[in-house]
Amino acid sequence: MDKLFFDTNAPMADLDRVDGRAKVTGAAKYAAEYDLPGMTYGVLAGSNITKGTITAIDTKGAEKAPGVIAVITHLNAPKIPGYDEGTNPAKGQTGGKGLRIFNDNIIRFNGQPIALVIADTFERATYAASLIKAQYNKEAPHTDLVDAMKTDKPLEGQRYNEVVRGEKDAWKGAPVKIESTYIMPIHVHNPMELHATTVRWDGDDKVTVWEKTQGVKSTQQSVMQAFKLEEKNVQVNAQYVGGGFGAALRTWPHAIAALMGAKKTGKPLKLVLTRPQMFTLVGYRPEAIQKIAIGANTDGRLMGMMHEAAAITSTYEAFNEGLVKMTLQLYACANVTTKYNIYQLDVSTPTWMRGPGEATGSFPLECGLDELSYALKMDPIELRLRNYAETDPENGKPYSSKFLKEAYELGKDKIDWKRRNPEPKSMKDGEWQVGYGMSTGLFGAFRGQANLAAKLYADGTLLLQSAVSDSGPGTATAMVQIASDAMGIPANKIRFELGDSSLPPGPTQGGSSTTSTLGAAVSNACVTLKKKLAEAAKKSPVFGGDVAVESLDFSKGELSLKGDDSKRLSYGDVIKGAALSSIDVIENAVPNPAMQKYSAYSYSVHFVRVKVHPLTGVVRIDKIVTAADAGKIVSYKTAESQMIGGVVGGLGGALMEEGVIDHRYGRWVNNNLADYHVPVHADVPHIEAYFVNKPDPVLNPVGSKGMGEIALIGFAAAVANAIYHATGKRIRQLPITPDKILEANSI
């Protein structure tokens, strides 16, 4: 690590994951791994048409099959009280109606659940589900965005439908300009852990749910709303979550089906989606077609930009995201027009997926900048620096912190950018064409509200508790690190309890905000703990009565008088001396009101070196360097893992991933992990992640900003830009597979 770029005053923590051993030894239990006495197994049968109505459904074969306990369809489904009040828990963020499972006979997408079969084993339920026979009144499916853009009216009144900043067509009058269309297919989250719900009703109005969720409190709210239950009667557990990427941010219809099924039979029930169901029942990143136009002066200063996006949603929900936001936010450009249309198709509802919006919008924007750099004959980093925003271009506010320039420098140095010959198609390694590409990623740095309980015990151990879940970034590890740094207590004496809705309410893990939000609560709680320790220490003769917290040093895991550390007391002795068993703090940390004066973003800069084989079109990514401004890095090892993981996701999106629907039938073609390609170990090159590691002084007391989203945002553009540099071929459609490279002409 280069000292120049790191805040050498900050401890460069290298804590192992506190839950790492449990995860790799199999001791960690996930939602589908809880076995309850009398367990039953639910399996969903799906529609094999895409659009229409069910005219008849034959469940007799399934009902008579061995081990079957119940079959639920729209004809006999128990009423969900919340459905009638418009408080459908599956409505998500869109304000739409959500899919009310088994509520009517209308088929809205291929694979929509038409029956839940409950049996005494998973295998018997799976077999019986195959015996469900439905007859349909079938209508022609409409799933093709290209068709929709020709024939349909987009949904009105969406966020970012049209934003005009400055002069509308300013880019057209610029001396140097580019205009291109970029296409991105459906991407799916498909974390390793399948979505699963295990349910046990503990009474008519009391239930315990083990759920794969990124938010135990939000799942609790959904279940309360659906079944009209009191908060204290809904217990949601998510001790471990095997990846989410956004797919576990909302309560999906299958979870409601599981609750419904267990209620009907009076027995505990476990429902695990199949891998194919993971492609249609828990959201995906919507397909998008985007036009980008950028005009600049000959000195590289941007005169105008235009970004027009079209994306898909379902017929029953209007999912939209910040697809065009980055174009408005990243560069200093007075004249920017964006337009974002969504089209309703006969597909299931998309949802947020890692870097939601920006991951899609950064592809045309950051490739467009690259195109412009060649048109200007200017280094692409230099072009970005000439248009570096010193204040937020959307509202003129200063940044609470911005170290993007430092990230460019850091990444440029580590990839050895100076070896790049600016001329496309000029570098070779044997038969292979070599290219360097880069791009920028941006995502808002957010902070929400979090409650936390902290208990410092007389034996010197510290317990922290909050109702959050950790889908993988290493939240417990980061929180333990923050507390360890603040209190001087070794990490192995600190425990962070999460994944339990009965703990003090914490945030949903989304929008790269957990460390900022929850870390603030941990940090504040430690400040209060220190005050309480100082107060309790009054009773000890060591400090001779009153001692101000400011005159005490806590960095060694004990109280010692600054300037005279012969006067010292262990935390345990303070607690025992005050005749307490523990010192307890309940913290409610809220966003810093001072943030209203600032804008806050995290930034990533991705650099890739590729080799392209001119005869086969095969792309090998040779080296990846990602440099980020994510504020202060509180837990180095998990931060590095998170950046590497995001890059691997970005690599999949750039070169492999593509959700394919056969538009003749509206049916998925590759809804399995054999045909939907994701990177395997052999596809992943050496990845280096670096951090500027400078604290944000305003956002939260920890100084951290978000990291989960920027790890992926922009990455596909860096790959496309490197391929252009290697080959002179500009591929504007993902994934960049060998056929596209072979077909494309040099431009």
> Contact residues for ligand MOS (CB under 6 A)?
214, 244-246, 249, 352-354, 356, 510-511
Q: Tell me the pairing of strands 558-561 and 564-570.
A: antiparallel
The closest of 50, 40, 192, 53 to 116, measured between CA atoms, is: 40
Residue 26 has φ and ψ, to the nearest 5°, of: 85, 5
Query: CA angle, corner 654, sides to 277 and 325, nearest 5?
Result: 90
DSSP element (H, E) containing 582: strand 582-589
- DSSP code per residue over 667-681: EES--STTTS----G
Minimum CB distance to ligand MOS, residue 221 (Å) = 17
Please answer whether residues 273 and 211 qualify as being in contact, where contact means their C-beta atoms are separated by less than 8 angstroms: no
C-alpha span between 254 and 272 (Å, rounded): 9
**Does residue 709 have an active-site annotation?**
yes
Q: What are phi and psi of 484, to 5 degrees?
A: -65, -45
Integer Cα distance of 561 and 534 in angstroms: 11
Min separation Cβ 646 and ligand MOS, Å: 11
Q: How many helices (H) and strands (E) does the chain have?
A: 18, 29
Contact 741, 617 (CB under 8 A): yes
CB closer to ligand MOS, 472 vs 505: 472
Between 218 and 341, CB nearer to ligand MOS: 218
CB-based contact 307:365 (threshold 8 Å): yes
Distances from the Cα of 666 to the Cα of 53, 137, 669, angstroms: 15, 15, 9
Structural contact between residues 706 and 445, judged by C-beta atoms closer than 8 angstroms: yes
Query: Catalytic pick from 558, 657, 709, 743?
Result: 709
- What is d(CA 300, CA 179) in angstroms, rounded to the nearest whole number? 16
Q: What distance in Å separates the CA atoms of residue 477 and residue 462, rounded to the nearest whole number? A: 14
Give whichever of 249 and 575 is closer to ligand MOS, judged by the CB atom. Answer: 249
Looking at the Cβ atoms of 353 and 569, the one nearer to ligand MOS is: 353
Q: Give the residue with the Cβ less far from ligand MOS, 411 or 444.
A: 444
* Residue with smaller CB distance to ligand MOS, 198 or 214: 214
Nearest-angstrom CA–CA distance, 346 and 315 = 6
In the numeric block, which tokens belong to residue 578? 């005050």
Measured from the CB of residue 245, what is the shortest distance to ligand MOS in angstroms? 6
Terminal Cα-to-Cα distance of the chain (whole angstroms): 39
Query: β-strand 40-46 against 269-272: which pairing, if any?
Result: parallel
Phi, psi of 217 (to 5 degrees): -70, -40
If the CB atoms of residues 82 and 519 are measured against ligand MOS, the closer one turns out to be 519
CA torsion 93→95→97→100, rounded to 10°? 30
DSSP bridge partners of 313: 344
Indicate the length of the chain as a whole number: 747
Sequence-distant (6+) residues with CB within 8 A of 90 are 98, 99, 100, 101, 222, 250, 251, 252, 253, 256
* Helices 636-655 and 475-487, axial angle in degrees (round to 10): 150
In the numeric block, which tokens belong to residue 145? 């965005």
- By beta-carbon proximity to ligand MOS, the closer residue of 360 and 599 is 360
For residue 549, give every residue at least 6 positions away whose Cβ sits within 8 Å of its Cβ, in sequence order, or none: 530, 531, 533, 534
Distance CA 453, CA 251 (A): 26
Q: Bridge-partner residues for 501, per DSSP? A: none
Report the nearest approach of ligand MOS to the CB of residue 511 (Å).
4
Q: Which of 656, 729, 734 shows the shortest CA–CA distance to 371?
A: 729
Rounded distance, CA 351 to CA 249, Å? Answer: 9
Residue number, 245 or 363, with CB nearest to ligand MOS: 245
Q: SS3 for 112-123, per residue?
A: CEEEEEEECCHH
DSSP H or E segment with residue 477: helix 475-487
- Which residue in the shown chain puts its C-beta closest to ligand MOS? 246
Q: Is the peptide bond before 735 cis (omega within 30 degrees of 0)?
A: yes
Q: Reading across the β-sheet that carries 133-138, which strands appear in turn?
A: 106-107, 52-58, 133-138
Structure tokens at 399: 């940044």
Nearest C-alpha neighbor of 261 from the set 486, 34, 68, 50: 68
Q: Given the complex with ligand MOS, which of 415 and 478 has the nearer CB atom?
A: 478
435 vs 141: CA distance, rounded Å: 43
The residues annotated with a catalytic role in the active site are 709
